[in-house]
Structure 1
Amino acid sequence: MIEAEIKVRVPDREALVQLLDELTEARAEIYKDTYYDTAGRELEAWDAEVRVRSVESAGGTKRTVLTYKSAAVDAGSGSKPEHETAVSDPDAVHEVVRGLGYEPVIAFTKHCLNYSVTVRGREMLATVVRVPEIDGTFIEVETMTDTEGLTGALADVRAFLAGLGIGEGDLTRELYTDAVRARRG
């Protein structure tokens, strides 16, 4: 499956959250992401990612997922095929990934408000994101699709963003990993 995703840096977090709160209830979550690569950074060269994400909800629920994303299939949005699975033991999954020859290359925290919405019959996740090490707020809107449905899925995501007053010129391909690396020097 492909994660059809568009990311935008938003100038007014409060106004955006107010619009989204009118649509549905938010789930506040904290993501603790660790990205892995080989010593030679082959995954980065291939535009691929291996990530272990631990998620804590406001209610104290914790879960961990292992994600592999291969190279982008849409240059404009950066949308990638994604394979993700829940793991029951976060420490073990980190050990497994390291045991396979990968090393942690960057880790950081994302503070998220997640909104599940349905647009044009398509289930989407709109996430308002703040990364403490990066100035500003972002919104990511994503939906899962197959290769044949990617163009339509991205059109639906853009339509949802347009309904929030976010235009095509506001989109960004900026990666959190790159921004955090730059900030850390």
Structure 2
Amino acid sequence: MFEAEIKFVAGPDFRLPEGTGAVVLVEDVYYDAEDGRLAAAGRELRLRREGGRTRLTAKAPPFDAATASKPEHETAVADAEAAAALLGMLGFQPVLAYAKRCRRARLRTDGLDVELTAVTVDFDPRLFVEIEHLAATREQALAALPAIRALAEGLGLAEECAEAYTDLARAAGLGTPPA
């Protein structure tokens, strides 16, 4: 899948549209090889726990540098501890962990199904709003970006943040960079 996503910095009074869910705690742990080859290649390997569910995600380098939108493959994991042990046996170690508090809404705009997520992270005081659409192809994902920007403008969101949470977390002093 190709995740067409733009992250915005929102003001403290920003509210999601109708259909907003409850706040959910999301715990992310990022893994890399000891030599840091995934990060060096612009790739990410993440184990995410959210609401009693766990997912393993592999992300390729961005296909759109301006938004950091990335191709990704994701699968459900039945046992988070076993998955972490398996990653360790394969030579991957945890290099970064952080928590996000997310509130989501789904809607349709310009023929696209999009998810809006209001996000706070435990290392940055700002409120972020992610608007994303999952597409089957790179071309479809790139074509979705103008619709995402138009929706954001209608919601009063103007300040894009192309930095990944992983980069923001490392800048805040979190994580252990690979050797």
Question: Quick one: distance in 2 between partners of 1:153 and 1:182?
Answer: 30
Q: Secondary structure of the residue that 1:27 maps to in structure 2?
A: coil
State the shift of 1:152 in Å. Answer: 1.6
Q: 2:33: which partner in 1?
A: 38
Q: Secondary structure of the residue that 1:184 maps to in structure 2?
A: coil
Gaps of at least 5 residues in structure 1 are: 57-61
How high is the sequence identity, in percent, across the aligned residues?
36
Question: Quick one: distance in 1 between partners of 2:142 and 2:163?
Answer: 21
The amino acid across from 2:143 in the alignment is G
* 1:119-138: CA deviation from partner (whole Å, max 9, x where unpaired): 12211111111012212111
Q: 2:9: which partner in 1?
A: 9
State the shift of 1:183 in Å. Answer: 2.1
State the shift of 1:75 in Å. Answer: 1.1
Query: TM-score, normalised on structure 1?
Result: 0.88
Question: Quick one: distance in 1 between partners of 2:30 and 2:7?
Answer: 19
Q: Is the 8 A contact 2:6 2:132 kept in 1?
A: yes
Q: Does 1:177 align with 2:166?
A: yes
Q: 1:140: which partner in 2?
A: 130
Q: Is the 8 A contact 2:56 2:77 kept in 1?
A: yes
Q: Secondary structure of the residue that 2:53 maps to in structure 1?
A: strand
Q: 2:147: which partner in 1?
A: 156
Q: Is the 8 A contact 1:27 1:115 kept in 2?
A: no
Gaps of at least 5 residues in structure 2 are: 175-179
Q: 1:26: which partner in 2?
A: 21
The amino acid across from 2:156 in the alignment is G
- What is the CA RMSD across the aligned residues, in angstroms? 1.3
Question: Quick one: distance in 2 between partners of 1:114 and 1:166?
Answer: 16
Query: TM-score, normalised on structure 2?
Result: 0.91
Q: Secondary structure of the residue that 1:148 maps to in structure 2?
A: helix
Large movers: runs of 4+ above 6 Å: none
Determine which structure has the larger helix proportion and give its number: 1
